[in-house]
Structure 1
Amino acid sequence: MRRSLLGITAITIAFAAGCANSTDPTGAPPAPATSAAVAATAPSPTPAEAVDAAATIDRLKAADLGLTGTAVQDEDTDPNKLFGRPNGYTSRASADLPGGDTGAEPYTIARGLVVEGFPDADSLQRRSKYILGLLKDSPALGTEWHYTTGTTLVRVSGEVKPSLAKKIEAAL
């Protein structure tokens, strides 16, 4: 059995290598797929000013928007387990907002507001698109407003009144 698996693996590798070395009808070798795909789908992000999640929470608190229960998360208190991890955020903070569920799990979007700081604008956009895509495909999960400031994503629960969400956007 082991010998037949090795044989199948070897044939698969040989076949893949043969396909990778094919040329187009003009005889020119194919362009590397990775660079063409990246160039076509991901334009270079413009540099964005790095903003820490705690600084953003402080700015929103100063705007007197009704934030309570503000907290800065770390790798031990992050409910998503993304803090400091690959493809995760570099800072995170949360707060309760009027309209949010103060009985929900601590530090979650259900309580009203979450701020996530990223190392670059591309990481921020990927995270925002991922979350909004999940919410669009599964409406039972709820809704959120997403605002950005520098490399920080400000997420506001869809349970918060739209008028308050607009005030948060203006305060950023």
Structure 2
Amino acid sequence: MHRTFTTTSAVALLLSLTACGGGNAQKPASPGTLAGKPLTAHAAFQKMSTTVPTANLTGTVTAENDPNHLLGRPHEYTSKVTFSDSWVSAVQVTGADPGDIGRGGAIEAFANPTDAKARAAYIHGVTKSLPALAEYDYVHGSVLVRVSHYLTPKQAAQYESAAATLD
């Protein structure tokens, strides 16, 4: 018995394969993303502040006011916000600049998790031997949450838990 493979047969086969293949299935979002796009620092803060109500947004870092001059540079943060925390006593941060990590913290968002991890490793390396600059750092996906060393470990753990929800 001889069978002829026609264009109609090819289309039918193709349609049956794509119907079963789930070619349009969405991948689950990676940590530190919102609908598959990297999370911005502001969006991360909004989500995190629902879990840590002592955090108050104090500033948005721009290329013009970035003290580190890193915003938007290759492999550096794509957005950054600073926040204060009411657990940090004003006496502890007298004279500190308004966006200083010691007042509460900062959230830095990156294009990818590798850059966020590299930044956290760099900060750890710089502050390791300087206790006055020490801080708690939590990376979740493409987001780095930096928290004041004036917080107790138990208080900082709330930020760590909040960072883990940044999906």
In the superposition, the TM-score normalised over structure 1's length comes to: 0.65
Alpha-carbon distance in structure 1 between the residues aligned to 2:68 and 2:133:
17
> Aligned with 1:165: secondary structure?
helix
Which residue of structure 1 aligns with residue 4 of structure 2? none
1:11-90 mapped onto 2 (5 Å cutoff) = 49=33, 50-90=38-78
Deviation at 1:110, TM superposition (A): 2.0
C-alpha spacing 1:168/1:102, structure 2 compared with 1 (3 Å): farther
Match of 1:147 in 2: 138
1:119 maps to: 111
Structure number with the bigger relative contact order (C-alpha 8 A, sep ≥ 6) is 2
Q: How does 1:91-102 map to 2 (within 5 A)?
A: 91-97=79-85, 98-99=87-88, 101=93
Secondary structure class of the residue paired with 1:77: coil
Would the alpha carbon gap of residues 140 and 168 (structure 1) be closer, same or farther in structure 2, given more than 3 Å must change? closer
Between the aligned partners of 1:167 and 1:142, the Cα distance in structure 2 is 20
Map of 1:4 onto structure 2:
none
Contact 1:109 1:157 in 2 (8 A): yes
The CA RMSD measured in Å over matched residues stands at 1.9
Q: Distance in 1 between matches of 2:143 and 2:69?
A: 17
The answer to whether structure 1 residue 108 and structure 2 residue 100 are counterparts is yes
Specify the SS of the correspondent of 1:125: helix
The Cα shift of 1:140 comes to: 4.0
Check if 1:156 corresponds to 2:143.
no
Contact 1:146-1:153 within 8 A present in 2 as well: yes
The answer for unaligned runs of 5 or more in structure 1 is 1-46
Displacement after TM superposition at 1:70 (Å) = 2.7
Deviation, structure 1 residue 108: 2.1
Code of the aligned partner of 2:126: L
Gap change, CA 1:161 and 1:53, over 3 Å in 2: same
Aligned residue-pair number: 125
Task: Determine which of 127, 145, 162 is the counterpart of 1:135.
Answer: 127
Q: Which amino acid aligns with 1:94?
A: T
Q: Give % identity.
A: 32
Task: Give 1:72 shift.
Answer: 1.7
DSSP 3-state at the match of 1:60? helix
Determine the C-alpha separation between the residues in 1 that align with 2:65 and 2:108: 14
Higher share in helix: 1
